[in-house]
Amino acid sequence: MIHDKKIIVVMPAYNAEATLRQTYSEVDRSFVDEVILVDDASADRTAELARELGIETIVHLENKGYGANQKTCYRAALDHGADVVIMLHPDYQYTPKLLVAMASMVAVGEYDAVLGSRILTEGALKGGMPLYKYIANRALTLFQNTLLSKKLSEYHTGYRAFSRRVLESLPLNENSNDFVFDNQMLAQIAYFGFSIGEISCPTKYFEEASSIGFRRSLVYGLGVLETSILYRLNKWGLLRSRIFNAAGARLNPEKPGENHP
């Protein structure tokens, strides 16, 4: 716990057997109360290894997508009584050593959400981020900052901490089950007036680290543009989108997954 807040780390996993042990070994369990892994029908031993390591493990019986994986992660964390939830990828691309710092920023009530930014320092390119992804990151971030009236260093990191209130309030079930879920969620956080903080985070790109290819990146980028435009049109009252509807479908914490040992 931190400041009497229950801290739960969630790991959305897909074929993470090669990196899971190293990632989990660096999670500071003196502050982190629980770790929950959701395996999205991996073809390797991700789920088996997670259970061997003593990690609470939920398995999707079929591959549902990165966004659907996160929905299951957050439902499970809420069901387990989390006050602060941090999403940590089990591919060791982001260092677990920042978990306590990120959780603390939320636990003390300073921010509703905290992002581990790869851009605040020179970490992205030094860590091996492909140049085309870096350029796309900067261009999309500029576009989003303009339309969302924010000043974030990036919107595309997968290292994130959230308060319970954020996860219970947002209509997350209206979001995509694919990669653009991440971006829709940040747009919702901004739309409904929650605060967002950032912390500098080094990153690593290597063979075992998960990464989407050029085609999927292009689809994601188009989804980001669409989300930003929808945000602005909804703010102007010219459109009413389900993802920005306060009455939209929220997570149901009573159903954390399909196969829960």
Tokens of 205: 């790109």
Q: How many domains does the chain have?
A: 1
Q: What per-residue confidence (pLDDT) applies to 20?
A: 97
The per-residue pLDDT for range 80-91, each reduced to its tens digit, is 999 999 999 999
Torsion, CA 201, CA 182, CA 133, CA 13, rounded to 10: 80
Examine residue 171 and state whether it is found in any structural domain, yes or no.
yes
17: left (phi over 0), alpha (psi -120 to 50) or beta: alpha
Instruction: Pull the structure tokens for residue 183.
Output: 């971006």
d(CA 256, CA 36): 11
Q: Which two tokens stand for residue 188?
A: 């919702």
Gyration radius from the chain CA atoms: 17
Residue 256 in domain: no
127 with 202: CB under 8 angstroms?
yes
Average pLDDT, the chain: 92
CATH number of the domain at 92, please: 3.90.550.10
List pLDDT tens digits, range 139-193: 999 999 999 999 999 999 999 999 999 999 999 999 999 999 999 999 999 999 9
Residues 110-127 have a mean pLDDT of: 84
For residues 83 and 163, what is the distance between their CA atoms, to the nearest angstrom?
6
- In the predicted model, is pLDDT for residue 119 greater than 50? yes
Q: Is the model's pLDDT at 254 over the cut of 50? A: no
Mean pLDDT, residues 54-60? 98
Provide the domain limits for residue 66. 7-240
